[in-house]
Structure 1
């Protein structure tokens, strides 16, 4: 049992480091030997943990998106917050974290799509799933906001979640160029404080 536990811990360390290295160097710029040495794992043992680099990339995507989905879910479950307030608090925390990182990295999902395009089906499948899961969590919050009367009801929660997800990706790219969170703040302000609000507000 301890052996299985230790292998899982090492696997998690490799995924954590994989997120950091791919954010900094890109998928193709992340070498397996550098990855292994950075977490003090013996050379040549990579395939004890992952079937291939492509499968590792897919697992990095899943590992990366999970905390965001979990954190957003935690906000949406807070009894003292309505759904719109929960979404705003979540994004405020996200923006503050981007400021702390000095706007480096952006979004791993968008970065990988731009780098690998449609050349790596294993990673692209994981990216599609991650985008859809994150989008569905947005839709959950927006649907609750509709029921609470803070979000417009003449559009579907799913279509607004798509718009939010797509707009966020563009704003994150612009943020990297401008080295400022202003594009993200402006994007979210237009959507959450204006376009998504009921028309009689």
Structure 2
């Protein structure tokens, strides 16, 4: 297996397992066994578990940003429709198989923010990039007339992202999609969409 493939395989295994169990509860042996990689290989790619956690979060956000960019450039839809579609996929009941892995930042954020400065910064940079993309999408939606806002695009984007992160946490607690439905109603009102 080429070197870049081995590293990617370890990261993918880490994302999947940590999305289920968190960071502290997962041992390196479990990750490497799941990845089918010998233990000695780990330290060739990562200097520590902390460095691995940072790399997992960076790879998670890289993937997340690609998915978000794809959602915001879907053809033949207004930006309001694209954003609505993107948010609909936050729910575990959206039909997406990798919901748990897509919620990695929600799962790890509270745990690692005080545990590791490197992982906290990876979360900070990753979420800032999500909010910037969302703000750009809101600007595009305003220009095309598919949505309207009463605050700056950056402020609205940050508020909506926080709303959806909170909905994700609540959905894990109540185990229904009610928090996502409530978040969607608030989002539609915030963006001036009809049928709010």
Same fold (TM over 0.5): yes
Which stretch shows the higher mean deviation, 170-179 or 40-49? Answer: 40-49
Select 1:47's aligned residue among 21, 43, 49: 43
Aligned ranges for residues 91-170 of structure 1 at < 5 Å? 91-95=87-91, 107-170=103-166
| 1:194 alignment partner in structure 2 | 189
Which stretch shows the higher mean deviation, 171-180 or 35-44? Answer: 35-44
Measure, in 2, the Cα distance between the counterparts of 1:153 and 1:117. 32
Measure, in 2, the Cα distance between the counterparts of 1:46 and 1:189. 45
Query: 5+ residue gaps in structure 2?
Result: none
- The superposition leaves residues 167-198 of structure 1 with CA deviations (integer Å, 9 ceiling, x where unpaired) of 1111001101111122112202221x212217
Provide the alpha-carbon RMSD of the alignment.
2.4
Aligned-pair CA distance for 1:68 = 2.4
Measure, in 1, the Cα distance between the counterparts of 2:73 and 2:95. 26
Do the aligned partners of 2:134 and 2:157 also contact (CA within 8 Å) in 1?
yes
Query: 5+ residue gaps in structure 1?
Result: none
| 1:175 alignment partner in structure 2 | 171
Aligned ranges for residues 2-41 of structure 1 at < 5 Å? 6-41=2-37
Do the aligned partners of 1:58 and 1:126 also contact (CA within 8 Å) in 2?
yes
Aligned-pair CA distance for 1:135 = 1.0
Measure, in 1, the Cα distance between the counterparts of 2:164 and 2:23. 22
Which stretch shows the higher mean deviation, 61-70 or 137-146? Answer: 61-70
Measure, in 2, the Cα distance between the counterparts of 1:106 and 1:78. 20
Measure, in 2, the Cα distance between the counterparts of 1:147 and 1:105. 34
Measure, in 2, the Cα distance between the counterparts of 1:198 and 1:90. 15
Measure, in 2, the Cα distance between the counterparts of 1:86 and 1:94. 13
Do the aligned partners of 1:103 and 1:181 also contact (CA within 8 Å) in 2?
no
Which runs of at least 4 in structure 1 moved beyond 3 Å after TM superposition?
96-106
Measure, in 1, the Cα distance between the counterparts of 2:90 and 2:133. 15
Do the aligned partners of 1:106 and 1:172 also contact (CA within 8 Å) in 2?
no
